[in-house]
Structures are given as structure tokens and as C-alpha cells.
Amino acid sequence: MLKSISRRSLLTATVGLALVTRMRPAWAQLPPLAKKASYKVGFAQTESNNPWRLAQTESMQSEAKKLGYQLVYTDAAGSAAKQVADVNSMIAQGVDLIFLPPREEKPLIPAIMNAKNAGIPVILVDRDVDHTLAKPGEDYVTFTGSDFVDEGKRVAEWLVKAMGGNAKIIEIEGTVGSSPANDRRKGFDTFMKDHPGMVILASQSGDFARDKGRQVMETLYQAHPDATAVYAHSDEMALGAISAIEAAGKVPGKDVIVVGVDGEKAALEAIIAGKMGATCECNPRFGPGAFAIMARYAAGETLPTFIKNEDRFFDATNAKENVDSAF
């Protein structure tokens, strides 16, 4: 017993010493980025099961190619644990910088800290983390993406107008613990508090995926057949909900008004067909903006802690003229 404990503590001490000598102290500032003609950059994608993710990956890859940078690309296939391992492997490969869309707000914190301690700057793209656990400008360079609270609020505003201030709403949320799900709910639910005729009957996560959105709607609509509106945190889930409404023998756009977020092509087509009410854009084409932020950082600029993407809003008044440019 004694022998095994002492052997284990000796091992721990040795590993610990090896790490300490390699690592920067935890309180160190952001790692700098040298100015170079070319870089090896990591992009640790969350999953690839929807058009939004595919458009984002395409945008990151084509911008890297345009600049002549080497892009180390990984796909976490919907697992935060795999995404942590993916980031750790990028650190081991010695990339110059990591672009990370943290799938959920908390589990990716250790990976961000590992990168920082290894001297590799991290730029969060499209999703943020919990600021009580890791701070922009201190632990990672910045967060660039949409204002999700505002997206939820804009959808809420549209729905109040369209429903004349009275609706029974089913809310289909995004990935549990992700910043867009947390903030899109906050923006929407807070706005609705001032509109007592707008009642949220039930809410449940559909993990930002079309088929899960369909399944959740099937269950919630059976429990709440009096629902008159659906707010989905993504267009994929909104399209899933539309299928569930049709399967229940009801008419989306008439019996139930469906609204979403993202502005994907299939959603704009559903708006044109009268099946969907509106969607707030969430632009997935991050490539040019993300690499421009990287260049500013390499030039020594102190960046703002949030670099915001501007989002458009689509409904029947403008879906036709924008459908071709949608993803």
C-alpha cells in the first residue's frame, strides 16, 4: 500500500514538474502571435449535421486557402468531450492559433486554458463560454459572433406583432448549455414578460438538429394541441417542427405560426411557401472576419472583447429577394 502510494506520488510530482517547466503561469496574459507570412491554424468544429455548420466550415477553409495558411480541421461530431480532445491535439501539433466554437459554455474551459498555458492564442468564433470561468482579453483573445440575446428579442418582437399580442407558444431550444441556446431564450423570454397575452406553454431542447426538433414538436404538440406558435432556436428545428405540424394534420403558417433563427435557404423557401413566419439571420460565413481579427491581433492591436456580426431579418416581405444569397 505504502509502496504504491509513494510510487504514484513520485509519478505525479515528475509529471507535474514536467508540465510546470513547459507551461506558462496561470495568471500570465494572453499569448502573443508573431507576425509571419504563413500560419498553421486550428479550427475545431462542433459537428457537421446541418447547413449552418457546413457553410461555416466552408468559409473558414476557403479563407485559409486564399491566404495560403495551413488549416488543421477537426469535427467533434456533437461531443464536447471530443472537442476538448481535438483542441488538445492541436496544441500538441503546435498550431500558431486556434479558432474555436465551444459547443457548450462550460466543458471547453479546460481546453481554452490548456491552449493559453501552452502559449497558443484562442479566438472564439460563433459561440462564447461562461465569463465567470474564462475571460475574453485574458484567457482567450475575443469572441466574434452574433448577439444572441438580440436575435431572440427580434424574433419575439415580430411574433408579438404577427399574433396581435396573443399566442400560445412552444419553444424548441438549442443545445443545452450552449451560449446561443441560453441567450436566444433569454432575449425571447424577457421580451415576452412585457406581453401577458404571449404565453410560453412549454420549452425543450432539440439540440439545434432538424430531426430532434421534429420529435420534440411531436411530443409537445400532443401535450399542447392548443399551441398557436412555435419559436425554434434554429431554422433546422423550425423545419422539423413544420413537419411535425403537418404530420398532425394541421397547417403550418395558418394553424401554427413558426419562427426560427439562422436565415438558411430552406427556411427562406418555407417563408416563401407560407409555411414559416420569419427568421432572424445568424451569419455562418466567418472566414474573412475571423482571419482579419487574427491579423489585427498579430499586428499587436488590443481587441474589443466582443466583435459583433450584424444580422438581417427575413419574413414574407423580403425572403424572395434574399433566398439566392442564403446558405
Q: Does 205 bind ligand GYE (CB under 6 A)?
A: no
CA 178 to chain centre: 7
For residues 15 and 191, give the distance between their C-alpha atoms in angstroms, rounded to a whole number.
Answer: 52
140 binds ligand GYE, rule: CB under 6 A: no
Choose one: 48-56, 197-205, 302-310, 318-326; the region binding ligand GYE (CB under 6 A).
48-56
Number of residues that bind ligand GYE (CB under 6 A): 11
52 part of the interface to ligand GYE, by CB under 6 A: yes
Candidates 49-57, 194-202, 273-281, 296-304; binding stretch for ligand GYE (CB under 6 A): 49-57
Of these, 39, 188, 191, 208, which contacts ligand GYE (CB under 6 A)?
A: 208
Q: Minimum Å distance from CB 234 to ligand GYE? A: 4
Q: Which residue in the block uniquely carries the three cell numbers 416581405?
A: 317
- Residue in this structure with the C-alpha cell 404571449, named with its chain if needed: 198
Q: CA nearest 238: which of 200, 219, 212? A: 212
The yes or no reply on residue 173 touching ligand GYE (CB under 6 A) is no
CA of 113: how far to CAs of 36, 127, 261, in Å? Answer: 24, 17, 31
CB of 213 to ligand GYE, least distance (A): 10
Other Cβ atoms closer than 10 A to 94: 11
Q: How far is the CB of 261 from ligand GYE (least distance, A)?
A: 6
Least Å from the CB of residue 91 to ligand GYE: 23
CA distances for 218 relative to 130, 145, 189, 204, 252, angstroms? 32, 32, 22, 12, 13
Site for ligand GYE in 59-118 (CB under 6 A): none
Which positions from 227 to 246 touch ligand GYE by CB under 6 A, shown as an x/- string? -------x------------
One-letter identity of residue 121:
P
Q: For residue 134, give every residue at least 6 positions away whose Cβ sits within 8 Å of its Cβ, in sequence order, or none.
A: 109, 112, 113, 140
Q: Which stretch binds ligand GYE (CB under 6 A): 4-12, 47-55, 128-136, 270-278?
A: 47-55
Which of 262, 293, 311, 327 binds ligand GYE (CB under 6 A)? It is 262
**Beta carbon of residue 22, minimum distance to ligand GYE (angstroms, whole number):** 33
Question: Of 174 and 252, which has the nearer Cβ to ligand GYE?
Answer: 174
Q: Is 143 in the site for ligand GYE (CB under 6 A)?
A: no
Select the residue interacting with ligand GYE from 126, 171, 173, 189 (CB under 6 A).
126
Pick the closer one to ligand GYE by CB: 180 or 187.
180
Task: Decide if residue 188 touches ligand GYE (CB under 6 A).
Answer: no
Nearer to ligand GYE, 126 or 189 (CB): 126
Q: Based on the shown chain and the rule CB under 6 A, indicate whether residue 154 belongs to the binding site for ligand GYE.
A: no
> Cβ closer to ligand GYE: 46 or 117?
46
Question: Which residues in this chain contact ligand GYE in the complex, by CB under 6 A?
Answer: 50, 52-53, 126-127, 180, 208, 234, 261-262, 282
